[in-house]
Amino acid sequence: MSASQQGLPPLASEGVFTSAASIDIDAPRDIVWDVLMDWDAYHEWNPFVRGQRITDKSKNPLARAPQQGDYLYIHPVHIPPTFEKKRFPSSTFINITAYDPSMYRVAWGGDQVASWLLHTERWQALSELDGGQRTRYESIEAFSGVLAYIIKVILKGGLDQGAQAMADGLKNRSEEKWRIQQAASSS
């Protein structure tokens, strides 16, 4: 998938490798955005990223909407994706580099260690389809640095599965939420 498709901006660098997913969702973009940004509920529908929260630099949770420059603690991450409890889940602590609800885009990344060792950039974007009745979700993450070569060999397949599982989960959760709202409004 090209980073220039629909709502995704160009990546700063394609890196050593990318992991990407996209899916069309039968729900309006506002519904999908609400599901995507409800990080407290990820454990209910997302088998890849089971939880994430906004924090300060010391990983203390912040009880507010995300802002560019905030930190994001993503834990647990299940590679490969599963709803089962994992014995050794992974996690990451990164910086929110873009948060633009008006464009329905969010990005994070940064240097996990020194940038020459590992740097990541992840974008997620929503685009309207069919006059706003449907939504396209797109996600791409680029991995750069020396460790990216090792991650590519060991984890690329699991990362690709995780990105697609998250897209599938977002589709299912958003369409369910939209059906419930439509049923409630027609009652």
Length of the chain, in residues: 187
Specify the pLDDT at position 7.
Answer: 85
Percent of the chain topping pLDDT 70:
96
Residue with tokens 């240097």: 111
| Cα–Cα distance, 187 to 83 (Å, whole number) | 34
Of residues 146, 130, 139, 147, the one with CA closest to residue 170: 139
Stated pTM of the model: 0.93
Q: Return the CATH number of the domain spanning residue range 17-186.
A: 3.30.530.20
117 contacts: CB under 8 Å, gap ≥ 6: 111, 145, 146, 147
Asked if pLDDT for residue 5 goes beyond 70, the answer is no
Domain boundaries, the chain: 17-186
| Mean pLDDT within 65-79 | 93
Specify the pLDDT at position 2.
Answer: 41
Q: What is the pLDDT of residues 88-137, one digit of tens each?
A: 788 999 999 999 999 999 999 986 678 889 999 999 999 999 999 999 99
Q: What is the pLDDT of residues 158-172, one digit of tens each?
A: 999 999 999 999 999
More confident residue, 22 or 14: 22
